[in-house]
Structure 1
Amino acid sequence: MPLNHKHQMVILKDILSNHQTDCCGTVSECEQIERLVRSLLGNEQVGAHVKSVLPDIYAYGQNGKYSTDLDSHILSHQQQLSEWVNQLT
Protein backbone atom coordinates (compact mmCIF):
# COMPACT_ATOMS: atom_id res chain seq x y z
CA MET A 1 0.00 0.00 0.00
CA PRO A 2 1.57 3.32 -1.06
CA LEU A 3 1.98 6.08 1.48
CA ASN A 4 -0.35 9.03 1.12
CA HIS A 5 1.06 12.55 1.13
CA LYS A 6 0.36 13.05 4.83
CA HIS A 7 2.43 10.00 5.75
CA GLN A 8 5.18 11.14 3.38
CA MET A 9 5.22 14.54 5.10
CA VAL A 10 5.55 12.88 8.52
CA ILE A 11 8.47 10.76 7.33
CA LEU A 12 10.19 13.73 5.70
CA LYS A 13 9.73 15.83 8.82
CA ASP A 14 11.07 12.99 11.00
CA ILE A 15 14.23 12.61 8.91
CA LEU A 16 14.89 16.36 8.89
CA SER A 17 14.17 16.60 12.62
CA ASN A 18 16.57 13.73 13.33
CA HIS A 19 19.26 15.42 11.25
CA GLN A 20 18.70 18.59 13.23
CA THR A 21 18.81 17.00 16.68
CA ASP A 22 21.47 14.34 16.03
CA CYS A 23 23.70 16.42 13.71
CA CYS A 24 24.35 13.27 11.71
CA GLY A 25 22.66 11.11 9.11
CA THR A 26 23.14 8.60 6.33
CA VAL A 27 23.31 8.65 2.55
CA SER A 28 20.19 6.44 2.57
CA GLU A 29 18.30 9.15 4.45
CA CYS A 30 19.40 11.74 1.90
CA GLU A 31 18.17 9.48 -0.90
CA GLN A 32 14.87 9.02 0.96
CA ILE A 33 14.55 12.81 1.27
CA GLU A 34 14.94 13.09 -2.51
CA ARG A 35 12.29 10.41 -3.17
CA LEU A 36 9.81 11.93 -0.74
CA VAL A 37 10.26 15.44 -2.14
CA ARG A 38 9.81 14.24 -5.74
CA SER A 39 6.61 12.49 -4.77
CA LEU A 40 5.26 15.44 -2.79
CA LEU A 41 6.05 17.92 -5.57
CA GLY A 42 3.94 15.85 -7.95
CA ASN A 43 0.98 15.61 -5.59
CA GLU A 44 -1.86 18.09 -6.11
CA GLN A 45 -3.01 17.74 -2.49
CA VAL A 46 0.20 19.28 -1.13
CA GLY A 47 -0.22 22.96 -0.34
CA ALA A 48 1.70 25.72 -2.12
CA HIS A 49 3.37 26.80 1.15
CA VAL A 50 4.91 23.34 1.48
CA LYS A 51 5.79 23.06 -2.21
CA SER A 52 7.69 26.35 -1.99
CA VAL A 53 10.29 24.86 0.41
CA LEU A 54 10.54 21.40 -1.16
CA PRO A 55 13.12 22.36 -3.83
CA ASP A 56 15.49 23.58 -1.11
CA ILE A 57 14.96 20.38 0.87
CA TYR A 58 15.60 18.35 -2.29
CA ALA A 59 18.87 20.22 -2.89
CA TYR A 60 19.85 19.57 0.73
CA GLY A 61 19.26 15.84 0.29
CA GLN A 62 21.06 15.70 -3.04
CA ASN A 63 24.07 17.68 -1.80
CA GLY A 64 24.18 15.53 1.32
CA LYS A 65 24.14 12.35 -0.72
CA TYR A 66 27.25 13.44 -2.60
CA SER A 67 29.00 15.14 0.32
CA THR A 68 32.39 13.82 1.37
CA ASP A 69 31.54 14.76 4.98
CA LEU A 70 27.83 14.28 5.54
CA ASP A 71 27.92 15.22 9.22
CA SER A 72 29.50 18.60 8.37
CA HIS A 73 26.89 19.11 5.65
CA ILE A 74 24.12 18.48 8.19
CA LEU A 75 25.79 20.69 10.78
CA SER A 76 26.08 23.56 8.31
CA HIS A 77 22.31 23.40 7.63
CA GLN A 78 21.05 23.48 11.23
CA GLN A 79 19.16 26.77 10.79
CA GLN A 80 17.49 25.60 7.57
CA LEU A 81 16.59 22.24 9.10
CA SER A 82 14.84 24.01 11.97
CA GLU A 83 12.93 26.25 9.56
CA TRP A 84 11.94 23.36 7.30
CA VAL A 85 10.68 21.25 10.21
CA ASN A 86 8.52 24.18 11.33
CA GLN A 87 7.23 24.83 7.80
CA LEU A 88 6.25 21.19 7.33
CA THR A 89 4.09 21.25 10.45
Structure 2
Amino acid sequence: MGLNHENQMHLLKDILSDHQADCSGTVAECEQVERIIKSLYTNIDLDANFKGVLEDIYLYSQRGKSSPSIQNHILEHQDRLTQWVEEIDSFS
Protein backbone atom coordinates (compact mmCIF):
# COMPACT_ATOMS: atom_id res chain seq x y z
CA MET A 1 0.00 0.00 0.00
CA GLY A 2 1.42 3.39 -1.02
CA LEU A 3 1.54 6.56 0.98
CA ASN A 4 -1.22 9.11 0.50
CA HIS A 5 -0.25 12.69 -0.32
CA GLU A 6 -0.43 13.78 3.34
CA ASN A 7 2.00 11.03 4.32
CA GLN A 8 4.24 11.97 1.40
CA MET A 9 4.27 15.62 2.45
CA HIS A 10 5.12 14.61 6.01
CA LEU A 11 7.94 12.34 4.83
CA LEU A 12 9.30 15.04 2.52
CA LYS A 13 9.27 17.53 5.38
CA ASP A 14 10.99 15.02 7.71
CA ILE A 15 13.82 14.34 5.26
CA LEU A 16 14.42 18.04 4.60
CA SER A 17 14.22 18.82 8.34
CA ASP A 18 16.80 16.14 9.05
CA HIS A 19 19.11 17.55 6.36
CA GLN A 20 18.71 20.99 7.84
CA ALA A 21 19.20 19.95 11.48
CA ASP A 22 21.96 17.36 11.01
CA CYS A 23 23.76 19.02 8.07
CA SER A 24 24.06 15.56 6.58
CA GLY A 25 22.16 13.18 4.36
CA THR A 26 22.51 10.38 1.86
CA VAL A 27 22.13 9.81 -1.85
CA ALA A 28 19.30 7.40 -1.02
CA GLU A 29 17.43 10.23 0.76
CA CYS A 30 17.86 12.45 -2.29
CA GLU A 31 16.48 9.68 -4.48
CA GLN A 32 13.56 9.22 -2.11
CA VAL A 33 12.80 12.96 -2.23
CA GLU A 34 12.71 12.76 -6.03
CA ARG A 35 10.30 9.80 -5.93
CA ILE A 36 8.02 11.59 -3.46
CA ILE A 37 7.90 14.73 -5.60
CA LYS A 38 7.19 12.75 -8.79
CA SER A 39 4.36 10.98 -6.99
CA LEU A 40 2.91 14.24 -5.65
CA TYR A 41 2.95 15.68 -9.18
CA THR A 42 0.95 12.78 -10.55
CA ASN A 43 -1.45 12.25 -7.67
CA ILE A 44 -2.69 15.64 -6.51
CA ASP A 45 -3.68 18.98 -7.96
CA LEU A 46 -0.90 21.29 -6.83
CA ASP A 47 -1.05 25.00 -6.18
CA ALA A 48 1.15 26.77 -8.77
CA ASN A 49 3.27 28.39 -6.06
CA PHE A 50 3.83 25.07 -4.32
CA LYS A 51 4.73 23.45 -7.63
CA GLY A 52 7.64 25.90 -7.84
CA VAL A 53 8.76 24.93 -4.34
CA LEU A 54 8.68 21.24 -5.28
CA GLU A 55 10.66 21.96 -8.45
CA ASP A 56 13.35 23.69 -6.37
CA ILE A 57 13.49 20.77 -3.92
CA TYR A 58 13.67 18.32 -6.82
CA LEU A 59 16.67 20.19 -8.30
CA TYR A 60 18.30 20.25 -4.87
CA SER A 61 17.94 16.47 -4.67
CA GLN A 62 19.25 15.91 -8.18
CA ARG A 63 22.31 18.02 -7.50
CA GLY A 64 22.80 16.38 -4.11
CA LYS A 65 22.95 12.94 -5.72
CA SER A 66 25.74 13.97 -8.05
CA SER A 67 27.62 16.23 -5.64
CA PRO A 68 31.15 15.13 -4.71
CA SER A 69 30.24 15.96 -1.09
CA ILE A 70 26.60 15.70 -0.12
CA GLN A 71 27.39 17.27 3.28
CA ASN A 72 28.80 20.38 1.58
CA HIS A 73 25.79 20.47 -0.73
CA ILE A 74 23.46 20.38 2.28
CA LEU A 75 25.48 23.06 4.11
CA GLU A 76 25.23 25.33 1.07
CA HIS A 77 21.42 25.01 1.15
CA GLN A 78 20.74 25.52 4.87
CA ASP A 79 18.68 28.70 4.38
CA ARG A 80 16.69 27.12 1.56
CA LEU A 81 16.03 23.95 3.59
CA THR A 82 14.55 26.02 6.40
CA GLN A 83 12.41 27.96 3.92
CA TRP A 84 11.21 24.77 2.17
CA VAL A 85 10.17 23.16 5.45
CA GLU A 86 8.18 26.27 6.35
CA GLU A 87 6.55 26.32 2.91
CA ILE A 88 5.60 22.65 3.16
CA ASP A 89 3.94 23.45 6.48
CA SER A 90 1.95 26.27 4.92
CA PHE A 91 0.75 24.12 1.99
CA SER A 92 -0.05 20.93 3.90
Judge same fold: TM > 0.5, yes or no. yes
Q: 1:29 is matched with which residue?
A: 29
Contact 2:5 2:44 in 1 (8 A): no
Distance (Å, rounded) in 1 between the aligned partners of 2:46 and 2:4: 11
Shift of 1:52: 2.3
Q: Is residue 58 of structure 1 aligned with residue 58 of structure 2?
A: yes
Per-residue displacement from partner, 1:19-74 (whole Å, max 9, x unpaired)?
00000000000000110111112223444342220000000001001110000000
Contact 2:13 2:88 in 1 (8 A): yes
- Of 21-30 and 37-46, more deviation after overlay is shown by 37-46
**Where in structure 2 are there 5+ consecutive unaligned residues?**
none
Over 3 Å off, 4+ runs: 45-49
**SS in structure 2 opposite 1:35?**
helix
Q: 1:48 is matched with which residue?
A: 48
RMSD: 1.1
Counterparts of 1:1-89 in structure 2 under 5 Å? 1-89=1-89
**SS in structure 2 opposite 1:73?**
helix
**Where in structure 1 are there 5+ consecutive unaligned residues?**
none
TM-score normalised according to structure 1 size = 0.94
> Would you say how many aligned residue pairs link Structure 1 and Structure 2?
89
